[in-house]
Every structure is written in C-alpha cells, then in structure tokens.
C-alpha cells in the first residue's frame, strides 16, 4: 500500500496548487502541521491573558485590573476592570481548558505529530490526507465554538476545567447557561478532531515506514507520538461521550449526573478522569519524545537505553488506564479503592524514573552544545523531575488528604505541563523551524527568551508549593477572606509579579517568530527588536529592585528604591541591547538543509520539503536514529541512510 501512495504523491511533486488548496484546505501534512501551530500559538495568547487576569485578582483582590479600566460598569464580567467572582471562576476554567485542548494538544500532537511522523519515517504524507485536513478544520470548529462561549449571555463555563457535576450540569448552581453547554459541545467536537488525527498517525506509522525503517530504528519522538495516538484513540471517545452526556443533562433534562433527580455525580468524575489521566500522558509523552530527540543531537552521542525508553513509554501507556482514581482519593469513592490506586500510581512513577535516568545517561560522556533547543531540553528534564517528585506527595493517599485541591497540585501540574510540555514545545519549535519554514529562528533572541522564561517560570510556580503546604485552596477568588492565609499574601503578590514578567518574557519569542517567518530584517526592525527586548528586561529589573527594597506589599517605592531600580534597569537594558546587537544573525535568512548535523530522515529531505517530501525515490534506512560519534567515522554524524560498520550495527539496532 505504501508503494502506491508513494507513486501517487510522487506524481504531484511539481504540482502547484492555488491559494485555497495550498494555504487553507491543504492536504499536505507539513502545511496542516503549520496550521495547527498557528492555532495553538494564537490560543496561547488568550489562555495567557486569562491567567494574568486571575493572577491580578489573587495578588490585589478586588482592585481594577491594569489595562481593563475602560470596560463599562454594566459589564457582567469585569465592570470597570474589577473581576467579579463568576468571571474569576470562568477565567480559571477557560485558562485551563484552552491551554490543554487548544494549545498543548494542537501544537505537540497536531503540529509535531503531523510534521514529524511522515518526514521521520520516510513517508510522502499521512495515510489519509483528506482525513488529516478534516482533523484540522474540525479542531478550528471546536475552537470557534469554545471562543463563542465568551460572548453568550451568562458568560462562559465557570465550573473548573474538570467540570464537576452537578455544578456543571445544573445551570442554576452557577448562573451559567449557554456557556457551559458550548464548552461541552466544543470538547465533543475536539474529541473528533483528535480521533481523526490518532487514526491517521497510527495507520501511517504502521504501514508507511520506508525500507529499512524497522520498529527499533524509529526515532523516539515518533514512538512517543505513536503511543500518544493510541492513548488519544482510546481516551478521546470517553471525553466525547461524557461531554455528550453533559449536554443531554443540560439541554434535554436527562439525569445522568444530577443527584437531586437520582443521578450519580461521581459518575462524571470517573468518566472525566478515566479520560483525564491518559490525557495527562497525551500532554507529556510528546514532550518526552522531543527531549529524547534533542538530547542525543546536542550531546553528539547515541541516546542512552533506546529500548528501555521505548518500553518505558509502552508501560506508561498501559498503566495510565489504571491510575485515574488518584484524582478521587477524597471524592467519597470507597476508600478501599484508594489503596489500589495509590499502588498503581507509584508503579507508573517507575517508567518515568527510568526515562529520567536514561536522559542523564545520555548527558554522561557527551559533547554538549548549548543551543536554544538544547537549553529547552535540559530545562525539560530538570523541571519534569521536580514535577514528577512533587507528584509523590499527591500519590500518597494519606498526604493527599491535606494537600488535595490546594496550590500544591497547581504547582505540580504546571511543572509537568508548562515546565515539561511547554518547554519541549518551545525547544521543538526552535529545532524544527528550519525544516518547517525554511529559515532558522535567531539563537541570541532565543537565549534571551529561554532564560527569562526559565527564571520566571520557576518564580511563578515554585512558591505555589509553599502556598499549598500552607493550605491555600485552589480556585478561591480572594485569599484575604481567610485568616489562615493572610500571612502568605506576599507570596501571592510575588507570584503575580513574576507571572506578569513571565508574560512579558514571551515578547522576544514573538519578535523572533514573526521576523523569521516573514523575513523582517530591515535595520529599523532589528533595532526595534533589540530595544523592546532590552526594555522588557530593564522594566523587570526595575520592579525587582523596588520589591527587594520595599517588600511585596508596598505599592509605591521610595526615592532611594527608584534611583537604585533605575540604575539596575539601565544597566540590564544596555547589556541586553548590546548582546543582541552583537549576536543577532540576519533574521529570516535561508536555513541550510541540516543545520544541526542531525541523523534522522527529516534532515535528509530538501529544505523546504516539497509536496511528497523526498524527491523521486524514498530514502532507505541503514542505521539507527542516534548513531553519533561512531568510532572510525570521520564526521560525528551521518544520515540514517548511510551504511554503518557491521560491528556497530547490532548495538544500534
């Protein structure tokens, strides 16, 4: 079957489509990947702004949010920029929903899955290009429905991204009407998008690997996307069904979940988490795959324990189906089950530990290059370690009695999903950008973005562990309403200031991304990029000094603090400006075919890869994906299509 597909596409190599078939309803997996990337990045802005709004409310409760004072006082959500409790609940709910379903999944699974699977296994496209296109446009439909919820009477869903029934299923309990229904409808639609993608990925990988691409020569990122697709295939229908049941309860007055009429509220939790825990691995597995891909390239050495890595992922995929009850230790579920779920949860920690040790093993004896993608991969490893270890606390059903539903869990999953998935996402974008867009993102700007993001990510989310240990409940609108939390308010202020800095830290990335995609390299634009990045750092420096002098709770810094802050700000801004002036390469210049000296097949394809990917004949694979620094070979890399000394062939599979 792969042969006929190959020929069919080969014939299309020089075919130039019109605007609509090239950029909008494209069947090319690479274009669909880029479309998913744009969708995810746009929604990331929405999700991020929602986060900053509710962080503002947590630090300075019931004050006007800066930049939103212009809103009319008749607004239901933010009259004159004040956050109302229902708006707060909505912001929390939609931040999570958008980040999970419309940012991390479209980018990690939709974009990287589409882009990498055919290129890395030597296929000309996905098995079902039309289904692939549909998968994207159904995702867009889901995003449109989700966005529409913001504009309906009563506001958007406000019952948490977990949508616990009956709060979510009986409109009177929240005062949210259409919003919650649209939320469920959107998830129902999005589940179809993921389902179509999963079927495509699985079929493609099983049937369309090029000659010589045996299972154990498949790159780990493709393995991770394969395992993710299997989880998606099995998990998303559960979400879709649960969403449909929620719609039935809300619109057609069925009573699946409403206890007042004989329904069972815990049924929703069981369905949601039976989907939800595999979902967690859908979010993190591609990140693990990207890290496993970047580490060998920039250590110039084979991945440590390739087979152990594969088996660990398969173990995770299996075990992820029997751990969902750890979300429900305190839910009222029979406590005897709690013991069983604690056991399975700690078992699933073992493959994660194995992966971490193998990443360390890959660093050992390497020749490490600190490029921007590598910095993100290293950050991924250490942040994933923190996120994994904090998981031990919640996995213990006894400790969970106290820290359940506190900021400790918020800290934990942000270390996994932001520290893990999103750092992998940024690293992956920078790494595959040359193949995706034919030009390389700038390393100097990338380093400024990386370090700012790394520092402020930790300053936002690490202190949340402390809040959680102090008993700070999640999803509360105003911590100052509780005596036992008031002493910790400076931590809340610090988190919010850091979150604002984290938001500003994304500006260099935005400049870098657009400048590279659209080849903006005019002198004035370069100066603007340098100046804005320098200003961001200077502003953050000023505020940091002011806070160091005055503490968190003093809004107006003294003259001394202002002077010291200004000096520090100028010094930092000048430093960043000059660093960028000296180190920024021409923005949007054409990238070489294989800028990182990497082995895998996507770098064998021309840049930009044409429709059909590989020219008239498909590459034939003769070695494993990570054969770097092979003894006796001149270069420290060679494409997978090169033969290898038989002495090493066995070791490299």
Partner 1 sequence: MMSWLPENISIEGEEIDFLFYVSYYLTVVVFIGVAVAMAYFIIKYRAKPGVKAKYTHGNNTLEILWTVIPTFILLVFVLMTQTSWAKLKLAIPQNPHVRVEVTGKQFNWIVRYPGDDKKFGTKDDLVLDNQLNVPVNKQVLISLKGADVIHSFFIPQTRMKQDVVPGRTIPLWFTPTKVGKYEIPCAELCGFGHSGMNGEMIVHSEADYAKWRKKAWAEKDK
**Helix (H) or strand (E) segment spanning residue 119:** helix 112-121
Minimum CB–partner distance for residue 388 and partner 1 (Å)? 9
Site for partner 1 in 93-132 (CB under 8 A): none
Partners of 406 in beta bridges = 473
Site string for partner 1, 388-407 (x = CB under 8 A): -xx-xx--xxxx-xx-xxx-
Residue number, 151 or 364, with CB nearest to partner 1: 364
Residue number, 361 or 615, with CB nearest to partner 1: 361
Site for partner 1 in 449-478 (CB under 8 A): 465-466, 469-471, 473, 475-478
Among 160, 171, 438, 615, binds partner 1 (CB under 8 A): 160
Rg (CA), the chain: 25
Among 483, 524, 617, 634, binds partner 1 (CB under 8 A): 483
**Helix (H) or strand (E) segment spanning residue 460:** helix 443-469
Minimum CB–partner distance for residue 30 and partner 1 (Å)? 31
Among 363, 552, 564, 649, binds partner 1 (CB under 8 A): 363
- The residues, ordered by sequence, that sit 6+ positions from 491 with a Cβ below 8 Å of its Cβ are 463, 466, 467, 552
Residue number, 305 or 438, with CB nearest to partner 1: 305
Residue number, 318 or 402, with CB nearest to partner 1: 402
Judge if the upstream peptide bond of residue 608 is cis by omega within 30 degrees of 0. yes
| Residue 310 token pair | 């594969």
The rounded distance, in Å, linking the Cα atoms of 492 and 513 is 32
Site for partner 1 in 252-281 (CB under 8 A): 259-260, 264-266
Among 154, 361, 595, 608, binds partner 1 (CB under 8 A): 361
The rounded distance, in Å, linking the Cα atoms of 455 and 460 is 9
Site string for partner 1, 318-337 (x = CB under 8 A): ------------xxx--xx-
Q: Work out whether 216 is an interface residue with partner 1 (CB under 8 A).
A: no
The rounded distance, in Å, linking the Cα atoms of 63 and 510 is 30
Residue number, 133 or 630, with CB nearest to partner 1: 630
Minimum CB–partner distance for residue 633 and partner 1 (Å)? 10
Among 126, 372, 385, 621, binds partner 1 (CB under 8 A): 385
- SS (HEC) of 262-312: CCCHHHHHHHHHHHHHHHHHHHHHHHHHHHHHHHHHHHCCCCCCHHHHHHH
Site for partner 1 in 3-22 (CB under 8 A): none
Site for partner 1 in 70-89 (CB under 8 A): 84-86, 88-89
Q: How many residues bind partner 1 (CB under 8 A)?
A: 99
- The residues, ordered by sequence, that sit 6+ positions from 397 with a Cβ below 8 Å of its Cβ are 326, 329, 338, 339, 341, 342
Site for partner 1 in 285-314 (CB under 8 A): 299-308
User: Cα angle vertex 250, ends 249, 256, to 5°?
Assistant: 15
Residue number, 1 or 336, with CB nearest to partner 1: 336
How buried is residue 562: exposed, middle or buried, by Cβ count under 10 Å (0-12/13-18/19+)?
A: middle
Minimum CB–partner distance for residue 488 and partner 1 (Å)? 8
Stretch that binds partner 1, among 75-83, 413-421, 511-519, 630-638 (CB under 8 A): 630-638
How far from each other are the two terminal CA atoms of the chain, in whole angstroms? 25
- According to DSSP, residue 590 is labeled B
């Amino acid at each position: 079957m792969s042969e006929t597909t190959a020929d069919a596409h080969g014939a299309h190599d020089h075919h130039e489509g019109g605007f609509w078939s090239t950029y909008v309803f494209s069947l090319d997996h690479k274009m669909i990947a880029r479309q998913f990337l744009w969708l995810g990045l746009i929604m990331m802005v929405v999700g991020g702004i929602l986060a900053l709004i509710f962080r503002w409310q947590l630090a300075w409760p019931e004050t006007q949010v800066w930049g939103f004072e212009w809103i009319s006082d008749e607004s239901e959500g933010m009259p004159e920029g004040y956050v109302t409790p229902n708006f707060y609940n909505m912001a929390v709910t939609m931040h999570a929903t958008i980040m999970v379903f419309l940012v991390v999944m479209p980018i990690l699974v939709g974009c990287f899955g589409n882009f990498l699977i055919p290129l890395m296994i030597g296929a000309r496209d996905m098995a079902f290009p039309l289904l692939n296109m549909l998968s994207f446009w159904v995702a867009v439909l889901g995003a449109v429905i989700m966005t529409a919820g913001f504009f309906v009477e009563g506001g958007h869903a406000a019952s948490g991204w977990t949508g616990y029934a009956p709060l979510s299923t009986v409109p009177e309990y929240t005062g949210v009407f259409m919003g919650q229904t649209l939320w469920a409808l959107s998830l129902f639609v999005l589940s179809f998008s993921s389902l179509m993608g999963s079927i495509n990925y699985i079929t493609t990988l099983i049937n369309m690997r090029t000659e010589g691409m045996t299972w154990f020569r498949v790159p780990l990122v493709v393995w991770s996307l394969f395992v993710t697709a299997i989880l998606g295939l099995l998990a998303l229908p559960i979400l879709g069904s649960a969403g449909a049941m929620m719609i039935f309860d809300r619109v057609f007055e069925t009573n699946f979940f409403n206890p007042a009429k004989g329904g069972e509220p815990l049924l929703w939790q069981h369905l949601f988490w039976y989907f939800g825990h595999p979902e967690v691995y859908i979010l993190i597995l591609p990140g693990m795959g990207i890290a496993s891909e970047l580490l060998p390239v920039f250590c110039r050495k084979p991945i440590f324990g390739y087979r152990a890595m594969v088996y660990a992922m398969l173990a995770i995929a299996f075990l992820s189906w029997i751990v969902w009850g750890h979300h429900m230790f305190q839910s009222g579920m029979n406590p005897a089950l709690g013991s069983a779920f604690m056991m399975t949860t700690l078992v699933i920690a073992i493959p994660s530990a194995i992966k971490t040790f193998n990443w360390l093993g890959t660093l050992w004896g390497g020749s490490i290059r600190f490029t921007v993608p590598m910095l993100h991969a290293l950050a991924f490893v250490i942040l994933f370690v923190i996120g994994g270890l904090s998981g031990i606390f919640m996995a213990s059903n006894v400790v969970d009695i106290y820290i359940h539903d506190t900021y400790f869990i918020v800290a934990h999953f942000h270390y996994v999903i932001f520290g893990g998935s999103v750092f992998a996402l940024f690293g992956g974008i920078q790494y595959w950008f040359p193949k995706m867009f034919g030009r390389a993102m700038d390393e100097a700007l990338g380093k400024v973005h990386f370090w700012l993001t790394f520092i402020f990510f930790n300053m936002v989310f690490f202190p949340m562990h402390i809040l959680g240990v102090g008993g700070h409940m999640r999803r509360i609108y105003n911590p100052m309403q509780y005596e036992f939390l008031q002493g910790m308010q400076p931590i809340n202020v610090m988190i919010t200031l850091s979150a604002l800095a984290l938001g500003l830290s994304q500006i260099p990335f935005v400049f870098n991304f657009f400048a590279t995609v659209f080849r903006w390299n005019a002198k004035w634009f370069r100066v603007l990029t340098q100046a804005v990045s320098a200003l961001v750092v200077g502003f953050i420096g000023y505020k940091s000094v002011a806070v160091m002098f005055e503490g968190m709770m003093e809004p107006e810094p003294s003259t001394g603090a202002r002077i010291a802050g200004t000096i520090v700000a100028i010094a930092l801004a000048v430093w960043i400006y000059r660093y960028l002036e000296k180190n920024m390469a021409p923005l949007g210049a054409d990238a070489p075919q294989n800028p990182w000296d990497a082995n895998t097949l996507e770098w064998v394809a021309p840049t930009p890869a044409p429709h059909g990917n590989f020219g008239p004949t498909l590459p034939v694979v003769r070695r494993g994906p990570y054969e770097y620094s092979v003894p006796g070979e001149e270069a420290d890399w060679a494409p997978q299509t090169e033969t290898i000394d038989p002495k090493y062939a066995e070791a490299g599979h």
